[in-house]
Every structure is written in C-alpha cells, then in structure tokens.
C-alpha cells in the first residue's frame, strides 16, 4: 500500500491554501439570500423580470478585496440554481447577462480583472436548476445543455483554475453521466481542478474518479486517507462570513477570530479554506464582509507564508495546536495565547509557557515568532519537542500565532 503521487496542478491548488467564494446574481438585487425565490415560491416569470434591472458595476472591488485578504483564487458563481447565467450562453439560453439590462458578459469581466491582479479564477456552476423543465422531464436533454454550457466556459475565457459544481445532490435517482461532463473539461482545460459539492450531508465523500477535491461545506475537514488510492485527492472547506451565501439582510456575522481559526484548522489537515461573501446588486462588497476580509488579510501578511507553503506535519486530538512543514521550515501554530497586562485593567484569558509536541518527527533550530522575530526557548526530550511560547504583549492579539523554525536535516 502507498500514497499516490500528487499531480502538479493539484499541488498548485493546495499551495494556494485560501480562496474567496463569491455568490452573485439576480438574487443580489433582492438582498434576502440566494435561495429566496425558491423558498418564497416566487414564480419564474416574476423572477425573470429582475434581468431587466440587472446592471452591476465593475468586478474590480470583489477581486481587489480578495487580494487584500490574502486569497489566491476566487470561485465565482457563473450560474446559480435560478438558471441565470453571468456569461454569454451563445444561444443556449436567453436568461443570461448578455440579455439583461447590463448587456455584458460578467464572467468575461471577472476573469479579466482576476488576471490583472494575479488572482486565479474558478467558476461555480449549479447543476440543479429550479425552473428548467428538462431537469424533470427530459434529463438527457438537460445534461446536454449542461455539457454545452460548461464547454463554453472552458473555451471562451482562457485558462480557468477550476470548476465547482453544485446540485447533483438534488437528484439521487438519476445517472448524471459525470464522466462525459468531466471529459469536456479535461479536453479543453486538462489542468483545471474539478470539484463537485457533496453538500452538508455528505462531507468528504469522493465520488467520481475525475474529482480532484472533496468538499466539507461548513464542516470541519478531516485528514484524507490516501493509502492505496488510485489518485491523490485533496480537500476544501467552504464557509460564509454570515449565515447566507448571497447578499442578505443578515447581521449574523462570524468573528475574524473564528474565521482565522477555521482557516488554520483547514490547513492543519491539508485542506483549502474557501470563504464566501455576497456582493450587493452593484457588485460592491458590503462594509462588514469587507472589514472581515481585510482583517484576515492583516493576519495573512504576518503568517500567510505558513498557510501557503506548509503541509501537515503534526497534530493530535488532545490540542488545537499543530505543526506544518515546508522544504526549509517548520511552522508551529499556537492557539489560545494569553494577553499580558495588569489584572486590574486587562481581561486576561488563555495561557502561555511550555507546550510539548509529543513524538515530533523533525529536528529544528532557531524557533521565533513570525510577526516580530522574537526567539523562543525550546528543548528536546527524546522525540518530544518542548517550546516555551510567550504570550501577546499588551495591545496585541492575533488569535492564532505562528512560530517558524529552521529544519535540521
């Protein structure tokens, strides 16, 4: 038994580490989430009228926000379950952005701005459509429409980093002929990452042999067992900054602390973290999602090297702390550090001091915090690495702090 060799395109995806999910479409005008029309029983004719007022601004703010957050890629909703395509469907449908008030190919604009700013574009495509009559009545015809749509996305927009499908969970009674769909991608975009979301109820399930990455929607990624597998597959967890994916009147925002911790816990097991925002009807990033993304970006400026370059090295179920490694370095992630200060004026929580990495399989030297270069005391007791982690000085709290050590061969 052995672990299969990882293909370079999958390795490149893993090294990106952190991406931004963007749910944007006609539903962004309503501002009550991406499933609003289906949940409220809106009729198709009424919903289609929204295309007459759909005229978003530039994609620039979305992409610039992702870059500032430290995200290396963006997964953008080329078509959601409402069936409205943000690209030129070239006659497959008139329900697209070309035939909207915008009169523009939004996906074209998105990929162009991504490339201008060094961001890798990924495209989300919903395989389940609420109002498509073929979906229920002539499924073979529906699959042909699906394949032709994806062929357009493969051939008209240059190199795409990956395709993120969502909706096969809606019909478990049919053959989706995934092989034919994925063969289309491999023909035109052989090094695109293929992802098909298995949903909330089937996290980490592999599925078809062409899948490159399994999903952990709003869950907690686990180490993937690759022993004896025919292909190396990686993982990705998607999460949203609040309780919805699309633009909504939703104040239930997660804290930057929680999201930074989730990012770290994804990387602990080698999974990517895909964090969602829902732009408003003008494609502007609302104030709170933007502030959260920029805060994460400040953390990434200090510790992003570990997120991008580190691969799983050490973790156990007794602690949240863990270690990653690159060719040159070991990165030690420390959770729940205390803030120093007078007990009379400072709310003190967390701990500092010695932590033992039991049965640590690497020798290291020169351990220091990545944010300020402070050297940390350490020692070895057999295979146990003991590190004295210092707490945050007053006025600082990075939620998760990372130390870097030089590997000793």
From first to last of the 409 residues of the chain, give the pLDDT tens digit: 588 999 999 999 999 999 999 999 999 999 999 999 999 999 999 999 999 999 999 999 999 999 999 999 999 999 999 999 999 999 999 999 999 999 999 999 999 999 999 999 999 999 999 999 999 999 999 999 999 999 999 999 999 999 999 999 999 999 999 999 999 999 999 999 999 998 666 666 778 999 999 999 888 888 888 888 889 999 999 999 999 999 999 999 999 999 999 999 999 999 999 999 999 999 999 999 999 999 999 999 999 999 999 999 999 989 999 999 999 999 999 999 998 766 656 666 778 899 999 999 999 999 999 999 999 999 999 999 999 999 999 889 999 999 999 999 7
Phi and psi of 14, rounded to 5°? -60, -40
pLDDT tens by residue, 86-122: 999 999 999 999 999 999 999 999 999 999 999 999 9
Distance CA 6, CA 12 (A): 10
pLDDT tens by residue, 275-315: 999 999 999 999 999 999 999 999 999 999 999 999 999 99
Residues contacting residue 22 through CB under 8 Å, at least 6 positions apart: 62, 74, 75, 76, 77, 276, 277, 278, 279
Judging by beta carbons within 10 Å of its beta carbon (0-12, 13-18, 19+), is residue 186 exposed, middle or buried?
A: middle
Distance CA 244, CA 165 (A): 18
pLDDT recorded at residue 204:
66
pLDDT recorded at residue 346:
61
CA-wise closest residue to 161 among 267, 286, 75:
75
**In terms of CATH, what superfamily is 8-309?**
Glycosidases (3.20.20.80)
Q: How far is CA 116 from the centre of its chain?
A: 21
| 46, 83, 128, 287 from 133: Cα distances, Å | 17, 11, 11, 39
| 140, 301, 337, 378, 400 from 375: Cα distances, Å | 63, 19, 16, 10, 17
Other CB atoms within 10 A of residue 68 CB: 17
Phi and psi of 313, rounded to 5°? -125, -50
SS (H, E, C) the chain: CCCCCCCHHHHHHHHHCEEEEECCCCHHHHCECCCHHHHHCCCHHHHHHHHHHCCCCCCHHHHHHHHHHCCCEEEEEEECCCCCECCCCCCCCCCEHHHCCCCCCHHHHHHHHHHHCCCEEEEEEECCCCCCHHHHHCHHHHHHHHHHHHHHHHHCCCCCCEEEEECHHHCCCCCCCHHHHHHHHHHHCCCCEEEEECCCCCCCCCCCCCCCEEECCCCCCCCCCCCCCCCCCEEEEEEECCCCCCCECCCCCCCHHHHHHHHHHHHHCCCEEEEEECCCCCCCCCHHHHHHHHHHHHHHHHHHHHHHHCEEEECCCCCCCEEEECCCEEEEEEECECECCCCCCCCCCCECEEEEECCCCCEEEEEEECCCCCECCEEEECCEEEEEECCECCCCCCCEEEEEEEEEC
Q: Where are the domains of the chain?
A: 8-309, 312-408
| 117, 182, 201, 233, 285 from 209: Cα distances, Å | 33, 10, 20, 10, 37
Q: How far is CA 87 from the centre of its chain?
A: 22
Architecture of domain 312-408: Sandwich (2.60)
pLDDT recorded at residue 347:
61
């Amino acid at each position: 038994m052995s672990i299969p060799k990882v293909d370079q395109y999958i390795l490149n995806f893993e090294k990106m580490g952190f991406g931004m999910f963007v749910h944007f479409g006609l539903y962004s005008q309503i501002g009550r989430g991406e499933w609003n029309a289906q949940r409220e029983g809106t009729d198709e004719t009424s919903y289609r009228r929204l295309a007459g007022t759909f005229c978003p601004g530039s994609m620039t703010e979305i992409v610039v926000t992702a870059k500032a957050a430290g995200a290396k890629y963006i997964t953008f909703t080329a078509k959601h379950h409402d069936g409205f395509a943000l690209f030129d469907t070239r006659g497959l449908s008139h329900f697209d952005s070309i035939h909207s008030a915008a009169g523009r190919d939004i996906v074209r604009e998105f990929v162009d701005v991504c490339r201008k700013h060094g961001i890798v574009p990924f495209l989300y495509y919903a395989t389940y459509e609420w109002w498509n009559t073929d979906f229920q009545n002539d499924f073979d015809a529906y699959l042909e429409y699906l394949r032709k749509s994806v062929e357009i996305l493969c051939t008209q927009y240059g190199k795409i980093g990956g395709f993120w499908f969502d909706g096969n969970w809606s019909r478990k009674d049919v053959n989706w002929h995934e092989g034919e769909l994925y063969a289309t991608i491999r023909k035109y975009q052989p090094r695109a990452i293929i992802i098909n979301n298995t949903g909330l109820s089937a996290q980490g399930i592999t599925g078809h042999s062409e899948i490159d990455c399994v999903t952990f929607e709003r869950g907690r990624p686990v180490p993937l067992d690759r022993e004896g597998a025919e292909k190396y597959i990686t993982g990705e967890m998607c999460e949203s900054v609040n309780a919805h994916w699309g633009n909504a009147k939703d104040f239930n925002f997660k804290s930057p602390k929680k999201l930074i911790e989730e990012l770290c816990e994804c990387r602990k097991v080698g999974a990517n973290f895909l964090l969602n925002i829902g732009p408003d009807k003008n494609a502007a990033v609302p104030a709170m999602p933007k502030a959260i993304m920029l805060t994460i970006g400040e953390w990434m400026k200090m510790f992003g090297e570990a997120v991008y370059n580190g691969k799983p090295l050490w973790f156990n179920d007794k602690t949240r702390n863990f270690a990653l490694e690159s060719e040159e370095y070991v990165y030690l992630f420390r959770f729940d550090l205390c803030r120093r200060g007078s007990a009379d004026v400072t709310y003190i929580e967390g701990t500092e001091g010695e932590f033992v990495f039991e049965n640590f399989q690497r020798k290291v030297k020169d351990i220091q915090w990545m944010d300020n270069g402070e050297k940390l005391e350490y020692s070895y007791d057999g295979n146990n690495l003991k590190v004295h982690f210092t707490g945050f000085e007053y006025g600082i709290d990075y939620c998760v702090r990372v130390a870097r050590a030089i590997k000793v061969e």
